[in-house]
Every structure is written in C-alpha cells, then in structure tokens.
Chains A and B, each alone.
Chain A
Amino acid sequence: NAGVTQTPKFRILKIGQSMTLQCAQDMNHNYMYWYRQDPGMGLKLIYYSVGAGITDKGEVPNGYNVSRSTTEDFPLRLELAAPSQTSVYFCASSYPARGENIQYFGAGTRLSVL
C-alpha cells in the first residue's frame, strides 16, 4: 500500500531557484494538504485542496503555489526560494466526510535553501 508518496526526500536549493515538490496519493482521497514543519515546531498549513481544480490558502501560503489537476496529485511549487523556506514539507490526504476524517501523511521532503 503506497498511501501518500512525496518526492524528493531531500533537496538543497540556492537562493532564487525554483522547484516543485511532488505529492501523490492512491487512496482516492478528495482532500489534500501541504504543511511545513520548522525546527522545534509543529506543522503549519500552507495550502489545501478539496478536489481536483479547487485549491485555497492555509496559514502560511506566501512564496508557494499549488495546482490540483487530478485527484491523485497535488504538487507544491516554490518560486524564488528564500532561506526562510528551509523546512520539512509534509503532504497529507483525507476523505472529506464528517467524523474522524483522518489525515494520512507522506514521509516528508527536507528542503534547505542556501
């Protein structure tokens, strides 16, 4: 069972470079999320999507963009990388129903911007 798959696992960027963090899930979940985890902190929501073609901002969206062309994929785009974007990025997915709506997480991408 693949669940939520994130690539790459590690990446080093230079200031001003751009990259896309990939996220794919095979559980047919409509809801998908991107979080970032800074050292010593909990996760904070960057963007989320409630279905293909629908995305919205979370708590910390500045410097990022997302798209959702399919149910399975939810890539996160970093434009003009800055040192403040050094973090661990987690993608998650869930089934959109009332109740537990458990979020399942990928293994994360560790990004350093130097």
Chain B
Amino acid sequence: AQTVTQSQPEMSVQEAETVTLSCTYDTSESDYYLFWYKQPPSRQMILVIRQEAYKQQNATENRFSVNFQKAAKSFSLKISDSQLGDAAMYFCAYRSNNYGGATNKLIFGTGTLLAVQP
C-alpha cells in the first residue's frame, strides 16, 4: 500500500523569505500523481501544485515550485517570497494513475503547519 510521510509537523518562515516543506512517499507503482494542497483556517482544501511522475521537469506555479526526486521518492514544496496569506496547513498527497475506482483516491500525509512571521 502507498504511504505519504511529512516529517515536519510545523515550520516557520519570515515574510519575503523562502521555505521548503518536505514530503516522502512509498509506492511500487511507476505511474502516479503527486499533489500539494493548502488548508487555511477556513478549512477549504486548495490545490497548490501537482506533478506527474513521468514528467522529469519540476512543476512550477508562480511562487510555488517542487523538487521531485522519483528515485528517492521525495516531493518537496518550495515557497518563494513568502506572504502572510501563505500561512496554512500544507498536505502532500499521492494518487495512482491507474484508471477507475478507489485507485483514484488521494492518500494524504499528516500535514505541515506553516507560520509566516511579519
């Protein structure tokens, strides 16, 4: 079974600085997606960025980028120029790319709570 591990329960960053959140996963599959979701105090789950395992190029969305190391099964999130609105719980998630049924479920890590200091 696949697992996702986030080893940093809490992180803190100064406004305008850069922070990296860690995520490792375990799977025997070769075809999958990885995601980072943001959960602010409102509880809404917001997709931040996604990465397909077959793509070697690391995904980037504005100030958010990932470092995807497939062999090491590592998927870290880098937030550049941190803003107060980035403060939230961040979840790493895995999804198999096999079509259909419960294989479409997301497997979540336990989250990293990010605080942004002004």
Contacts and interface: CB of A to CB of B under 8 A. Distances in A.
A56 B95 CA distance: 18
Contacts, number: 63
A98 B9 CA distance: 32
Interface residues of B, number: 26
A40 B10 CA distance: 11
Interface string B24-37: 00000000010000
B104 A42 contact: no
A88 to B, nearest CB: 6
B20 interface: no
Given A45-B105, A96-B104, A40 B110 contact: yes
A47 to B, nearest CB: 10
Interface residues of A, number: 29
A107 interface: yes
B77 to A, nearest CB: 15
A12 interface: no
Interface of A: 31, 33, 35, 40-45, 48, 50, 56, 58-59, 88, 90, 92, 94, 96, 98-103, 105, 107-108, 110
Interface string B83-99: 00000000101010101
A94 B105 CA distance: 10
A42 B44 contact: no
A56 B44 contact: no
24 contacts: A40-B110, A41-B111, A42-B4, A42-B93, A42-B108, A42-B111, A45-B102, A45-B106, A48-B101, A48-B102, A50-B101, A56-B101, A88-B43, A90-B45, A92-B45, A99-B97, A100-B33, A100-B50, A101-B33, A102-B47, A102-B50, A103-B106, A105-B45, A107-B43
Interface string B63-90: 0000000000000000000000000000
Given A41-B110, A50-B100, A100-B33, A58 B105 contact: yes
